[in-house]
Amino acid sequence: MHGKTSYPIAFSPLDLGFTRLKNRFLMGSMHTGLEELPNGFPRMARYFAERAKGGVGMIITGGISPNIEGGSGAKLSTSEEAQAHREITDAVHKADPEVKICMQILHMGPLARGKYAVAPSAVRSRIARAAPIELDAAGIEKQLDDFVNCAVKAKEAGYDGVEVIGSAGYLISTFLVQKTNLRTDEWGGPFENRMRFAVECIRRIRQAVGDQFILIFRIAAMDMLEGGMSWDEVVQLAKAIEEVGANIISTHFTWHEAAVPTIATMVPRAAFTGVTGRLKKHLGIPLITSNRINMPSVAEEVLRRGDADIVSMARPMLADADLVVKAWEGREDEINTCIACNQACLDHTFTGQEVSCLVNPRACHETKLNYLPVAKIKKLAVVGAGPAGLAFSEIAASRGHHVTLFEQSSEIGGQFNLAKQIPGKEEFHETIRYFRRTIDKYSILLNLNCKVTVSQLVKEGFDEVIVATGITPRVPDLPGITHEKAVGYIDVISGNRAVGRKVAIMGAGGIGFDVAELISHTGKSAALDRQIFAQEWGIDFDNHPRGGVTGVKPVVASADREITLLQRKATPVGRGLGKTTGWTHRITLNRRGVKMINGVEYLKIDDLGLHLLINNEHQILDVDTVVICAGQTSQRGIYDELTDKGVKVHLIGGAFEAAELDAKRAINQAAHLAAQV
């Protein structure tokens, strides 16, 4: 790549002696589910090749197990399996011979799926179904042999290196920590023994693969476990790993079972890189840092501070395959920024669905969903500039259609304009910025403050009309629903109506939780302040007690309000929230004293408050305000009338189906329609 850049450090090459990385942008490892699909390899080849073309310096694949016990769903232990990986390594090297691709070796240990989970001791993880089988001495040697064999096969498959994951609660990390390693032989007891497995693993791999192969060790630099690794142990391990031949150390934060968010959207950008910076002072080899680094400016700042030598971005590369090349060319405002929602990536991984991205439905679907130039240009009208209308307009216009976008309000963004008001969801500003830019880039004719009529659409002679008019909040059929105490969520979030000190929230879906977050919150958003975030989650960055959290009590500031979050279902409140983020919202609200009650029946709202049946008992919640968060109904707007007039019309997003609507589904549906139209 040639030209000037605003990110001189990020774009400087990194010399590893026998090879070099062309820049400091790393596409971090992320399991996509493609690894174990029958047609997964051609899909992965395309997925990674697009990111290689998009400018990253190095790619780490999703985790591949060294054996059946490793349990990640895909293993590499034979030459035949290595042959299948050739498709990936060839595609990446063909896309850009300068790009390095390393395979992650993932042995899940006690978190392995299936019946072969093994670990140093039979200690069940909080998030595993069963206790693992305790390895005997021969079993440990076998695991080490399998790690070595896997690395050798990765080299045979054409990878430039391997990353060995020694964190997150997977096998290697369970040797390191006292609570999961109860052994009394040479693999347990004092830290020197507990780190033996990790060190032996790297030492033996290096011996087997030779000097000309990138070897990365991923360390839990702050494991977020009560009684986890001390800082001295982290340093001791990292130094030992360097000594036995690793080229790079990659810092990771948290184990999956820890109750501290490290990648969710409420985590401040680059919150953890300071920990990498401290470790870097002890080592001679380069360090990778990660977590919530989603824009090139953040990456450059992290590198400028000297926190790391390489910056890992995993989800941001799902959101935009061309992030790096856009940064190089000064087109940052065209970057489709990862908003750290986890909705289509990690939530899918942990529920066994194929991974994609909420803001980029092509992610991991590169062979299936393509936005090809059109043969016949159409004149298209899109009604509604919410997520569905915007995504459709962008993609259709990028293919060459002439798109006119009508929006009745004064701004684009629809429901995203509400989401961005919620503390911890500030990243939605980026998505709106992205769409605003695409409107200019693809010359989409935007008409704000325009409630377009059927006759206008017919008169202007559009070939097709896309109705993306969204939703209207559901108003429950309840006596007193028009009482002055009852307020809709849109009015509350947009600040049009104040809420009192005692508040009931009717409906505990995503919006009910958002409202509870907004009105229970006080002061600056923790997502914008690392110190506040650390206090709220009980992390001590300065003193680094064991795991970073041992003995640190979370301190949560909350607004002076009594809040009750209600739902009719008997299921636990918040169960329907995202798999990987729901728990953070439940914990936060619990700490702020928000009461959550399920199984209620609403009776009426009057001057006394909200009347309910709870366990068949009549109760009155003496509240000043009842915020209605009872879901939505579709707003089909002009769809039926247009159909009657014989206009070719499509219905997308919330207007199509409001039930359980979310932006992921709306954008995905819009993208598929825009790819075909």
Q: Hey, which residues are catalytic here?
A: 170
Shortest Å, Cβ 134 to ligand NAP:
39
508 near ligand SF4, judged by CB under 6 A: no
Extract the tokens encoding 405: 């976008």
358 near ligand SF4, judged by CB under 6 A: yes
264 near ligand SF4, judged by CB under 6 A: no
User: Are 512 and 520 within 8 A, CB to CB?
Assistant: no
Query: Residue 337's Cα: distance from chain center in Å?
Result: 11
From 54-62, 268-276, 506-514, 613-621, span contacting ligand NAP (CB under 6 A): 506-514
* 315 interacts with, out of ligand SF4, ligand NAP, none, CB within 5 to 8 A per kind: ligand SF4
* Of 223, 122, 119, 124, the residue nearest 174 (C-alpha): 119
From 132-140, 354-362, 563-571, 601-609, span contacting ligand SF4 (CB under 6 A): 354-362
Shortest Å, Cβ 63 to ligand SF4:
17
470 near ligand NAP, judged by CB under 6 A: no
* Of 440, 391, 422, the residue nearest 526 (C-alpha): 422
Cβ nearer to ligand SF4, comparing 23 with 668: 668
Shortest Å, Cβ 623 to ligand NAP:
16
Out of 288, 340, 364, 444, the only residue in the binding site for ligand SF4 (CB under 6 A) is 340
Cβ nearer to ligand SF4, comparing 488 with 578: 578
User: Are 199 and 519 within 8 A, CB to CB?
Assistant: no
Distances (CA, A) of 572 to 200, 460, 564, 604: 45, 52, 14, 23
306-365 binders of ligand NAP (CB under 6 A)? 343
Cβ nearer to ligand NAP, comparing 12 with 525: 525
Out of 113, 256, 502, 568, the only residue in the binding site for ligand NAP (CB under 6 A) is 568
Could you give the CA distance from residue 243 to residue 639 in angstroms, rounded to a whole number?
A: 68
Q: Running DSSP on this structure, what letter comes out for residue 163?
A: E
* Of 399, 367, 370, the residue nearest 48 (C-alpha): 367
User: Are 5 and 46 within 8 A, CB to CB?
Assistant: no
Shortest Å, Cβ 360 to ligand SF4:
6
Could you give the CA distance from residue 349 to residue 69 in angstroms, rounded to a whole number?
A: 19
CA dihedral 543, 549, 550, 556 (to 10 degrees): 110
User: Are 564 and 504 within 8 A, CB to CB?
Assistant: yes
Shortest Å, Cβ 359 to ligand SF4:
5
From 20-28, 279-287, 289-297, 504-512, span contacting ligand NAP (CB under 6 A): 504-512
User: Are 110 and 180 within 8 A, CB to CB?
Assistant: yes
Cβ nearer to ligand NAP, comparing 103 with 629: 629
From 43-51, 298-306, 501-509, 614-622, span contacting ligand NAP (CB under 6 A): 501-509
* Of 206, 214, 152, the residue nearest 20 (C-alpha): 214
Instruction: State the number of binding residues for ligand NAP (CB under 6 A).
Output: 21
Q: What are phi and psi of 631, to 5 degrees?
A: 85, -165
Cβ nearer to ligand SF4, comparing 148 with 344: 344
Could you give the CA distance from residue 439 to residue 405 in angstroms, rounded to a whole number?
A: 9
357 near ligand SF4, judged by CB under 6 A: yes
From 136-144, 333-341, 582-590, 622-630, span contacting ligand SF4 (CB under 6 A): 333-341
Out of 164, 627, 630, 673, the only residue in the binding site for ligand NAP (CB under 6 A) is 630
Out of 228, 631, 637, 653, the only residue in the binding site for ligand NAP (CB under 6 A) is 631
Out of 104, 342, 404, 469, the only residue in the binding site for ligand SF4 (CB under 6 A) is 342
User: Are 560 and 577 within 8 A, CB to CB?
Assistant: no
